[in-house]
Structure 1
Amino acid sequence: MNVFDRAYDDTIRVLDEDGEVVGDVPDLDDESLVDMYRHMRLARHFDGRAVSLQRQGRMGTYPPLSGQEGAQIGSAFALDDDDWMVPSYREHGAALVHGLPLKQTLLYWMGHEDGNNAP
């Protein structure tokens, strides 16, 4: 069965109507949760600053990630070290988790030549 054959009632849920977890809670230690939270806060802070630069005309374009931090950071943390991650339009939070410096992201969106030289 492919994804297009799935019935609409096969929806995967992680929270119920009251915000309670459906199923098992992931086994994450406090240090991992704090690390994920720090990455989400940093991604949102960077996002706010980059949006400001774009609105000032100091950056030609910028795709904000606001509201997507949890999905990006959480999914990036779920990857193994040897898994591939190819960042796309609004995925600089996930790229940050895997070691892409925010400076590199900034250079890329500002159109600087060095922004294409990812480490």
Structure 2
Amino acid sequence: MAIGEAQTEKFEAWHRAREMGPLIQRLSKRCHDIAREELHRTLRKLGGVGQAERQHLEELTRRIVNKLLHDPIQSLRKGDGQHAASAHLLHEMERLFHLGEGTSTPEESQGSKP
């Protein structure tokens, strides 16, 4: 492999690794936002839920999201932009989870239904 190719490959790996941090943040934020919205919708329907119960349910929701995201995030970090497939994986994550700037889910586009 020529020096130029090696440098290009190193630069591309570095660039993919830099993209991973913001992608992970957007993925985490999106999942936590959805969970919070659904929790608040459910709490409104239940009515009469005390502050202590509300805090327990919020903590439960946060922990569930964190556990669901743990393995995918670890897989992204282990790849650390070292493989050419990483760029494809990042693109697919953005597409599958609607993580691109200015994208919305069908529910957000049509308005949430209770």
| TM-score, scaled to structure 2 | 0.39
Flag the structure with higher helix content. 2
Query: Which structure is larger by alpha-carbon Rg, 1 or 2?
Result: 2
Which is bigger in relative contact order (C-alpha 8 A, separation at least 6)? 2
